Amino acid sequence: MNYKLLLCTLITISQIPVTADWATQTLQTLTLDQKIGQLFMVAAHTDENINKLHAFRSPYTMHKKYIEHLIKNYYVGGIIYLGTSDAEKQLQHTRHYQQQSAIPLLIGQDCEWGFAMRCKATTKFPYTLTLGAIADNNLIYECGRAIGKQCHAVGVHINFAPVCDINSDPRNPIIGYRSFGADKHTVAQKASVFANGLADAGVIACAKHFPGHGNTNQDSHLMLPMINDDKQTIMDRELHPFKELITNNIPAVMTAHLAIPALDKSNCPASCSPAIVTDLLRNKLNFNGLIITDGLGMRGITNKYKNGDAELNAFLAGNDILLCPVNVTKAHVKIKQTVIAQNLYGKLDQHVLRILRAKETIFIKHDYQFPTTIDKNAFATNSLIKQLFDSAITIVQNTQQLIPLTLQNNQPITHHAFGSNHQAFTNFLKERFVLTKEHSYLQIITLHPPSHRPQDNFGVKQQTIDRIKNLCHKQKTILIIFGSPYLAQQFTNTPATIIVAYENNDYTHRATLKVLSGDIKSIGFLPI
């Protein structure tokens, strides 16, 4: 599908020519209702049974006929795909929706670790925290570019990444492994090159969650978290990555549902705060790109606003795109009434023009060609993923100088495995070393936490932690953690050599074995 042709043939409101100033000309042809519709990026899903299956969890109506209704009657400007999807089916849905719309739709998706974040059949890239352990920023760039190619292959224009939150609070239930780490400079550097990779693949990167969701132990999907840092700390630390990316011309920023008294004493969500969205982000930080809310169905905002008020307040605060509106009908009516009553036509035009300029950049300046089939080359990423995991393995503690292992005459080693899904690594160990259940010269302990989230110590029971500590003091020990680096902090007071592999999969199993045997050097560093 050639979008230059699409723009000429589908815009029924006025048969305008495709020019370098398409956005301005298009804006002049839109009715008030059509302008308001452009603000909405609605939630969709490729599973027609999704509303029946997940009605108790999801506040959104996402079936195909309803999305068609919103496109035709409310002129919505974009779609975000939620849940797990299928690449071919998503491409078919997107093609269908684009054909229903007079103006090309912006398609967004959360692909922080590639399309695998939304498709179980796809090989995932490392989590963001794993990327934070990689010293070579060129690899981070290549990761962003490869993910961008996947987005393009499934018809996605905006990837809601990179996460620019500094994981200041280890208890953070929703950021954690989605952050590049706890150091503001590391987060800024990695996020910048990741965003550059997305851009070079022709995909809009979106820095989130402004002004920083890292220093809280609450989840904005469930409640409105409170950030109690003073203003100077927020400006110096939490905002640092966003400042760097704005300087680096990041095209979009997502605002968070957070109460931040130091920035807005009213304690309204940051996403609905004119002081945070307009005064700080737009004016003080001179951000000229798209400002997009976090999902407006999250309880961090729905607990406070009902029946279209969240969308209205987010619009008034200065957001351009209202992501995942719960009730488009009510939101549309309230925004229209307010625009008329308060004479906000100029404000509305500014927001819509930014959205149209983003579409102009994608569909005209980049000569966008809609994919007709899935480009399988975009998903042939095993070599890069292997290189990323190889580069992330981190030796936290090597006081006994046990790595690389120098075993003579096939000396046997003892292996103790704790946690879930550990048999695969045990099998790998057996291929390289002689294992025994008896006391040996050396023991390898592997910890495979069942969760990447910090609740209940990443799913590891305290008695397991105590048992591992006890084993570490009995003989020479190499402890390998196939999970969060925060777990390593619980063992640094033991004499064990500690390796953090960040994730529990074939890539990290093989990479760790190569480090143990000296085939590759550990070049990762702790991002926390």
Of 63, 69, 221, 452, the active-site residue reads 221
Helix (H) or strand (E) holding 43: strand 40-44
- Asked whether the beta carbons of 241 and 166 are under 8 A apart, the reply is yes
**φ/ψ (deg, to 5) at 6:** -60, -45
Strands (E), 213-333: 252-255, 290-293, 322-323
- Active site annotation includes 294: yes
- Asked whether the beta carbons of 203 and 157 are under 8 A apart, the reply is yes
- Asked whether the beta carbons of 190 and 139 are under 8 A apart, the reply is no
Which class for 177: exposed (0-12), middle (13-18), buried (19 or more C-beta within 10 A)?
Answer: buried
Q: What is the largest CA-CA distance in the chain?
A: 86
346-to-66, 221, 343 alpha-carbon distances in Å? 30, 33, 8
| Residue 368, C-beta contacts closer than 8 angstroms, at least 6 positions apart | 3, 202, 362
- Active site annotation includes 257: no
Neighbours of 36 (CB within 10 A): 28
Tokens of 112: 């922080």
Of 219, 294, 320, 390, the active-site residue reads 294
Q: Which of 174, 178, 149, 146 is nearest to 162 (CA)?
A: 178
Q: HSE, CB side, 13 Å, CA atoms: give it for residue 62.
A: 28
Residue identified by tokens 């999704």 is 50
Q: What is the distance, to the nearest Å, from the Cα of residue 370 to the centroid of all Cα atoms in its chain? A: 24
Helices and strands: H and E segment counts in the chain: 20, 14
Tokens of 439: 């006391």
Q: What is the distance, to the nearest Å, from the Cα of residue 527 to the centroid of all Cα atoms in its chain? A: 17
Residues annotated catalytic, as ranges: 221, 294
